[in-house]
A and B are shown apart, each in its own frame.
Chain A
Amino acid sequence: MGSVEPFRKLHARWGGQVHFLVVEVRQAHPGPDYPRHTSAEQKLEEAREHHQEANAPWITLVDDLQGTVHQVYGGLSDPSYLIDAEGRVAFYNLWSYAPVLYEAIARLLEQGGRGVVMGGVNRLPHLGPAVTDGWPAIQRGLPQSLVDLETAMPGGGALLWLGHQARPLLAPLTLRAKPLPQGLTLGLAAGAALVGFALGCWLLGARGTEALAFPRRRTNGQTAPELANATPTHLPPRLPVAETVSG
């Protein structure tokens, strides 16, 4: 499902005004302890386990084995739909991201719970929550889930593990439910651009701008004038004139 924590924060804020439903779908990263579903009973039992482990305050539903409802609604791995009070789709978040859903819910309620909000669709995969909290899902399917993920996306498993180790640092930013204030978002973007620029300058400074246009020459510690007067060592030695054969 992706990170539960931001979803729980969403529910804490909006649960009194919005019904929260989670539909349990196929195993995304199956493994020995949690293999692919082969019976409705297995799927229901694992959904119950998922619900309890998350200490979920929302309603958890279980799709059929073929994933009929999941496929009808697009079949993506982690989508969310905000459905208005008349049963129409108000907003489709293809890759569930709590701050986006937070704002969508707020806007929908502002307009009486009806209609489309925020252009209706957000397609952007937000990697922060996945990197910060994705490792427990892979852990459930170990070792197969990790082997499969690394095979399908080299480095993906390692990234999730590293993100999990850095969770205390990342969580305040990546597992929030509320959108960042616009000023802070701009500030973070500017900061990231500055860091990228500084890194680029450092890399250029370390190599020298000439190194980008000309091949690197070994100087052996010689100064520029010494280099200018030095005999090139890559040319064959010049023969003395007296030794030239004539006749």
Chain B
Amino acid sequence: MVETRDSLTEFRNLDHTLDEETYNFEHFRTRHLLSDAWRTLQTRGIPPGEVAPDFLLPRVGGGTVRLSDLRGKPVLLRFGSFT
């Protein structure tokens, strides 16, 4: 279950959002490297100073975590893959 501060539809309509099939690629290719390079050049993401988009995500071990519930203390938020 994912909720974001802005609607899912809004983000899905943005030209840089990938559909499920494309996002979960079967083979790592050169275009994925190039995409990362392009996104780096564009500094794609949430700019400094802006409110970090809220979300509610399931947690390993059970339960869920909502980002906005953690205010009052800084958060280090990292995105990563097992492979």
Measured CB to CB, the residues of A under 8 A from B are 1-2, 7, 10, 14, 17-31, 34-38, 44, 46-51, 59-92, 94-96, 101, 105, 108-109, 113, 116, 119-121, 123, 125, 137-138, 140-141, 144-145, 148-149, 151-153
Interface residues in chain B, defined as those with a beta carbon under 8 Å from any beta carbon in chain A: 1-2, 4, 6, 8, 11, 16-20, 23-30, 32-33, 36, 39-40, 43-55, 57-61, 65, 67-68, 70-83
Complex Cα distance, B55 from A47, in Å, reads: 18
Chain A's nearest CB lies how many Å from the CB of B29?
5
Partner of B79 from the list A10, A25, A137 (CB cut-off 8 Å) is: A25
Closest-CB distance, A17 to chain B (whole angstroms): 7
Q: Cα distance A152–B83 when bound, in Å?
A: 16
Q: Chain B residues with Cβ under 8 A from A78's Cβ? A: 78-80
Q: With A18-B73, A22-B78, A145-B28 known to touch, is A72 a contact of B58 (CB < 8 Å)?
A: no
Q: How many A-B residue pairs have CB under 8 A?
A: 259
What are 14 A-B pairs at a CB distance below 8 A?
Answer: A23-B79, A24-B81, A28-B81, A44-B58, A48-B61, A62-B58, A65-B23, A68-B8, A81-B75, A89-B47, A92-B47, A92-B48, A108-B74, A148-B28
Pick from A95, A120, A148: contact of B27, CB under 8 Å: A148
Asked if A62 and B44 make an inter-chain contact with CB atoms under 8 angstroms apart, the answer reads: no
Q: Which residues of B contact A20 (CB under 8 A)?
A: 75-76, 78
| A89–B48 touching, CB < 8 Å | yes
